[in-house]
């Protein structure tokens, strides 16, 4: 006999599977899912094999990861199109007060003029295989959580090293797909010589700045070109003037005709992180603790850096990249906070968990196996909420104050490098150490001691006001005289050598004792705080081990409950998503159409940053010099497009492709309401934003001196 509650549960399960059908556009599909998708129904004229086909050539060979973003190869000579905000760090690092590429833009007339970006890497997915069984074989019943995390980490490293031996020249990385359940080993080509080729001025590439960031309608020409190089024999190599352009296996064809409202589009890219499978207790932790903490800390850092750069462009340039990424996350976090409250996501998830719990409780076998899973997950998040701000700030001390970050890297390297390779934290393993040290060295070029003094003061003051400071001798001493922290921080920053790359290089081979004996006062503070950070690292791993096991069980039982299979959360591995160019309604009686144009750029232009359209654009606009890049219906150069694909951070720079797989835009953002995508996708509010290819071509070829790039991409005007 079916009981009433069981009937309710069954109806709910049916409804929820109907819901997943209704939300068919939701999904960042891994390559393994492509054969199961009905691509034709999605308006795509390519087969799964034409999209991805390991061992043969497919569209994926034309897609790459560019640091944390995505890019596409648009010529057989390794020319990459990505976002302006993805190349931002390279543009900023190459800029000086006298030669301000960020403000003026940059166009290399010849290959020799292209500018090396030493902290950039490009990654291409070659192949993948499921290694879940091999990874999970090291987990034993009842294993302590910390040991569990460490055993899985070690196994992943072993598999990576073995795969790299098997495939010389490729890099292997094991990605966790479903926490505690599925793991996939990816094989990548990594290219290490990446150069800046073309960037519009920031007044085009970042038009609208933070005012318009995460908003639609948008009028930002957020694109740039880079180029990947290899050694003369075609193998990956770090920068050398003898290197030659990389020849990709596949070039993404540019479609200068662009798209129109209603057209099908799809994206391939490397979305960073989503949390769609996490519980209501996780969302509450985000809503009540982590996101508000981030907003407060980032707002403070941004405003201090802006003040520091207000009078001196050279200082502003040093901070530009950091301000940009902090501001991006700060505004996204505010969007997420608003979305969590408005969209009632926590309440919806709480009630679906109640239905799941009923389902579990209705059958004794399920109850025995999964009865406490949800409650146990809640316990972990409530522990994290209790420690909350303290842990966030302890970790942030190392982000906000750069010299502390450099000192931590140095000391951590000394401790970790003394261990056997497989037991080290990943950045210090032999296969990663050169790259991670290079990143620190490059970061030092932006070090600005007066700002670091402010950051150190602010973070130490915050920490010292917390009761936990009393448990750390170095902080306890500072906490006894909070008013004196400013002076102390000044002294520490003025006397440290930690911002100097030569000091870093001289210290990289030293032991922890030798570093201690240097008596650099700021490094000494780092060493005193080091046990607190490593304790936090162990605590995080313990929680990870526990959540990893619990989420594995949760997915198991949810799959039984919903009789559905799920798509793993984004994890910076290659994904496919599709949708249509489509309007949306952010509020009652408001409809926003999906194509913005140059006319809108003019309407927004005030002459004052961030709405200070460059003279060259104004002149071409006044002259009506649009070439063939006019939208036939709108009779304007289209600037940006809006579409309902499923994207997140990391999809920045992803190609927006038409039904034939040709490039019609470059993805760069989402609308404000869609910041909540990371927690729950919804057909009503989830919209992504890309720069229209016609604007890219017009700005590059008609407004600035990049006609040769259009020729290189096979585009005639
Ligand atoms: N602009 C975004 C970013 O921060 C892209 C996105 O998240 O949709 O990377």
Specify if 171 maps to a domain.
yes
Same domain, residue pair 435 and 523: yes
At which of 505, 537, 561 does a domain end?
A: 561
Nearest CA to ligand 1 atom 7: 649
Q: How far is the CA of 682 from the centre of ligand 1 (A)?
A: 17
Using the structure block, give the residue that is written with the tokens 């996708």: 681
pLDDT tens digits for range 136-162 = 999 999 999 999 999 999 999 999 999
Same domain, residue pair 312 and 246: no
Q: How far is the CA of 516 from the centre of ligand 1 (A)?
A: 41
pLDDT tens digits for range 29-39 = 999 999 999 99
Specify if 649 maps to a domain.
no
Same domain, residue pair 199 and 312: no
Closest CA to 270 of 714, 671, 11, 650: 650
User: Which atom of ligand 1 sits closest to the CA of residue 647?
Assistant: 8
What single string gives the DSSP state of each residue in 409-466?
HHHHHHHHHTS-GGGS-GGGSHHHHHHHHHHHHHHHTT--HHHHHHHHHHHHHHHHTS
Q: How far is the CA of 69 from the centre of ligand 1 (A)?
A: 9
| Ligand 1, residues at Cβ distance < 6 Å | 328, 647-649, 651-652, 668-670
Same domain, residue pair 300 and 236: no
Q: What is the pLDDT of residue 19?
A: 34
Using the structure block, give the residue that is written with the tokens 């409250």: 341
Specify if 15 maps to a domain.
no
CA dist 547 and 543 (Å) reads 6
CA dist 571 and 573 (Å) reads 5
Q: What is the pLDDT of residue 26?
A: 66
Same domain, residue pair 169 and 107: yes
Q: How far is the CA of 331 from the centre of ligand 1 (A)?
A: 11
Per-residue pLDDT, averaged over 560-582, amounts to: 94
Specify if 9 maps to a domain.
no
Same domain, residue pair 385 and 241: no
Q: Which helix (H) or strand (E) holds 669?
A: strand 663-670
User: Which atom of ligand 1 sits closest to the CA of residue 69?
Assistant: 9
Q: Is 417 left (phi over 0), alpha (psi -120 to 50) or beta?
A: alpha
How many separate domains does the chain show? 2
Q: How far is the CA of 651 from the centre of ligand 1 (A)?
A: 7
Helices 345-361 and 521-562, interaxial angle, to 10°?
60
Same domain, residue pair 421 and 503: yes
Q: Is 21 exposed, middle or buried (0-12, 13-18, 19+ CB in 10 A)?
A: exposed
Angle at 111 between CA 105 and CA 112, to 5 degrees: 95
Same domain, residue pair 341 and 229: no
**Is 83 within 8 Å of 650 (Cβ atoms)?**
no
Same domain, residue pair 203 and 340: no
Q: How far is the CA of 368 from the centre of ligand 1 (A)?
A: 42
Nearest CA to ligand 1 atom 6: 649
Q: Dihedrals φ, ψ of 289, to 5°? A: -120, -65
> Among 667, 669, 674, 686, which is best to mutate for testing ligand 1, by the most ligand atoms less than 8 A from CB?
669
User: What is the band of 16 on the pLDDT scale with cuts at 50, 70, 90?
Assistant: very low
Reported pTM: 0.94
| Cα separation values, 338 from 214, 328, 418, 475, Å | 13, 16, 47, 35
pLDDT tens digits for range 255-264 = 999 999 999 9
Same domain, residue pair 167 and 247: yes
- Across the chain, what does the average pLDDT equal? 94
DSSP 177: E
Specify if 257 maps to a domain.
no
Residue 13 has pLDDT above 80, yes or no: no
Nearest CA to ligand 1 atom 4: 649
Nearest CA to ligand 1 atom 3: 649
Q: How far is the CA of 627 from the centre of ligand 1 (A)?
A: 31
User: Which atom of ligand 1 sits closest to the CA of residue 213?
Assistant: 1
Q: How far is the CA of 415 from the centre of ligand 1 (A)?
A: 36
Tally of CB atoms within 10 A around 231:
15
Specify if 641 maps to a domain.
no
Closest CA to 86 of 673, 709, 668: 668
Which domain, by its residues, includes 150?
65-252
Specify if 608 maps to a domain.
no
Closest CA to 291 of 252, 334, 322: 334
Specify if 248 maps to a domain.
yes
Q: What are the start-end ranges of the H helices in 566-670?
A: 598-604, 615-623
Residue 14 has pLDDT above 80, yes or no: no
């Amino acid at each position: 006999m079916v009981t009433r509650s069981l009937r309710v549960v069954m109806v709910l399960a049916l409804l929820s599977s109907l819901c997943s059908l209704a939300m068919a556009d939701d999904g960042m599909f891994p390559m393994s899912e492509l054969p199961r998708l009905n691509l034709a129904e999605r308006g795509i004229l390519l087969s799964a094999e034409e999209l991805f086909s390991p061992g043969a050539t497919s569209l994926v060979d034309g897609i790459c990861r560019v640091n944390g973003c995505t890019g596409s190869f648009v010529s057989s000579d390794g020319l990459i199109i990505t976002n302006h905000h993805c190349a931002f760090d390279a543009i900023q690092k190459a800029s000086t007060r006298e030669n301000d590429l960020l403000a003026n833009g940059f166009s290399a007339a010849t290959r020799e003029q292209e500018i090396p970006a030493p902290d950039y890497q490009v990654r291409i997915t070659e192949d993948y295989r499921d290694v879940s069984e091999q990874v999970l074989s090291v987990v034993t019943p009842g294993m302590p959580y910390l040991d569990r995390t460490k055993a899985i980490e070690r196994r992943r490293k072993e598999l990576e090293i073995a795969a790299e031996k098997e495939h010389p020249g490729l890099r292997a990385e094991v990605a966790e797909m479903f926490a505690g359940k599925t793991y996939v080993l990816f094989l990548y080509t990594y290219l290490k010589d990446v150069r800046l080729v073309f960037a519009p001025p920031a007044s085009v590439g970042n038009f609208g700045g933070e005012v318009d960031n995460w908003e639609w309608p948008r009028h930002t020409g957020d694109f740039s070109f880079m180029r990947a190089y290899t050694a003369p024999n075609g193998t990956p190599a770090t920068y050398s003037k003898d290197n030659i352009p990389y020849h990709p296996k596949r070039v993404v064809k540019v479609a200068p005709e662009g798209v129109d409202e209603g057209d099908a589009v799809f994206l391939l890219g490397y979305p960073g992180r989503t949390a769609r499978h996490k519980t209501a207790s996780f969302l509450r932790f985000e809503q009540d603790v982590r996101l508000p903490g981030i907003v407060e800390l980032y707002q403070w850092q941004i405003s201090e850096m802006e003040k520091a750069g207000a009078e001196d462009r050279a200082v502003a340039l040093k901070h530009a990249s950091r301000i940009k990424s902090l501001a991006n996350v700060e505004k996204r976090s505010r969007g997420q906070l608003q979305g969590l409250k408005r969209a009632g996501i926590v309440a919806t998830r709480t009630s679906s968990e109640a239905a799941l719990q009923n389902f579990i409780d209705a059958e004794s076998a399920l109850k025995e196996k999964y009865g406490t899973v949800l409650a146990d997950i809640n316990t972990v998040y409530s522990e994290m909420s209790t420690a909350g701000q303290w842990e966030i700030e302890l970790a942030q001390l190392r982000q906000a104050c750069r010299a502390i970050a450099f000192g931590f890297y140095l000391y951590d390297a000394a401790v970790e490098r003394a261990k056997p390779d497989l037991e080290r934290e990943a950045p210090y393993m032999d296969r990663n150490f050169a790259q991670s040290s290079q990143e620190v060295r490059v970061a030092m070029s932006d070090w600005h001691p007066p700002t670091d003094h402010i950051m150190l003061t602010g973070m130490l003051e915050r920490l010292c006001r917390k009761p936990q400071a009393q448990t750390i001798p170095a902080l306890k001493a500072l906490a006894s005289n909070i008013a004196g922290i400013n002076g102390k921080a000044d002294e520490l920053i003025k006397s440290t050598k930690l911002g100097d790359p030569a000091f870093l290089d001289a210290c990289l081979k030293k032991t922890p004792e030798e570093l201690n004996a240097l008596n650099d006062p700021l490094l000494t503070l780092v060493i005193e705080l080091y046990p607190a950070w490593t304790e936090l690292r162990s605590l995080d791993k313990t929680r990870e081990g526990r959540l990893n096991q619990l989420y594995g069980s949760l997915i198991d039982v949810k799959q039984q409950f919903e009789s559905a299979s799920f798509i793993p959360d984004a994890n910076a591995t290659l994904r496919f998503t599709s949708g249509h160019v489509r309007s949306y309604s952010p509020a009652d009686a408001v409809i926003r159409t999906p194509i913005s144009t140059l006319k809108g750029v003019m309407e927004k232009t005030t002459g004052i940053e961030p709405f200070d359209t460059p003279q060259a654009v104004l002149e071409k606009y006044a002259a009506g010099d649009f070439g063939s890049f006019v939208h036939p219906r709108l009779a304007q150069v289209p600037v940006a497009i809006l579409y309902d694909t499923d994207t997140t951070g990391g999809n920045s720079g992803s190609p927006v492709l038409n039904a034939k797989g040709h490039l019609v835009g470059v993805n760069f953002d989402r609308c404000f309401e869609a910041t909540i995508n990371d927690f729950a996708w919804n057909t009503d509010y989830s919209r992504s934003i890309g720069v229209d290819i016609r604007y890219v071509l017009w700005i590059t070829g008609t407004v600035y001196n990049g006609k040769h790039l259009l020729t290189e991409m096979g585009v005639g005007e």
